[in-house]
Amino acid sequence: MTTWKPLPPRRGDRPDPKPVAASLDRLARRFGVTDAASLTTVFNRWPDVVGPAVAAHTRPLSPTRGVLVVAVDDPAWATQLKYLGASVVERFAELVGGVAITRLEARVLLGRHICGGRTTIVQYLTC
């Protein structure tokens, strides 16, 4: 009886699969966040950080190079976020530690509403 042995690698074979967590962490770093867990916290803890009243009218979209872009359903909420900006950034730093969010940028949704934390975004007005 012969013992099973794997075939030798052929030229051009792909390397072994890598853990998904490593790929997600690499992607998160492209957004300026230390790891995927921190990025998840930004989106999942948004209502805890800004409060339920603000969260009902806002939604984080993307962190890019230290700027967290936030969708708002009315220009008044964009103004509110300008006033809350520093405290929101501090709160995320406390929650996650390594989040590289330095400021917020509000974008007003045109013709859409934020409903249950989900929205289809077609066009923005940057404030």
pLDDT tens column, 78-110: 999 999 999 999 988 888 775 578 889 999 887
Distance CA 90, CA 92 (A): 5
pTM over 0.85: no
CB 108 within 8 A of CB 125: yes
Report the sign of the C-alpha dihedral through residues 16, 20, 21, 27, in that order.
positive
Distance, in Å, from the CA atom of 60 to the CA atom of 116, rounded to the nearest integer, reads 13
